[in-house]
Amino acid sequence: MINIKIIEITDKEYPKKLLQIKNPPKKLYVEGNSKLLNKKSIAIVGSRKCTEYGWKQAMRFGKELSQNGICVVSGMAVGIDKAAHIGAKSYKGKTIAVLGGGFKDIYPEENKELFYEIIEQGGCIITEYSPEEKTKSTNFPKRNRIISGLAMGTLIVEAAQRSGSLITARYTKEQKKPIFCIPSNIGRYKEYRYKQFN
Give the chain's mean pLDDT. Answer: 92
Structural domain span for residue 154: 5-197
Q: Is the pLDDT confidence value at 11 over 50?
A: yes
For position 189, what pLDDT does the model report?
45
Question: Per-residue pLDDT tens for 23-36?
Answer: 999 999 999 999 99
Answer yes or no: is pLDDT of 185 > 60.
yes
Average pLDDT of span 17-27: 97
pLDDT bin (cut points 50, 70, 90) of residue 3 is confident
Tell me, what CATH number does 102's domain have? 3.40.50.450
pTM for the whole structure:
0.91
Looking at residue 83, what is its pLDDT?
98
pLDDT given for residue 2 in this prediction: 66
Q: What is the pLDDT of residues 151-180, one digit of tens each?
A: 999 999 998 777 889 999 999 999 999 999
Cβ neighbours for 137, distance < 8 A, ≥ 6 positions apart: none
Number of domains present in the structure of the chain: 1
Q: What is the pLDDT of residues 62-109, one digit of tens each?
A: 999 999 999 999 999 999 999 999 999 999 999 999 999 999 999 999
Look at residue 187 in the predicted model and tell me its pLDDT: 62
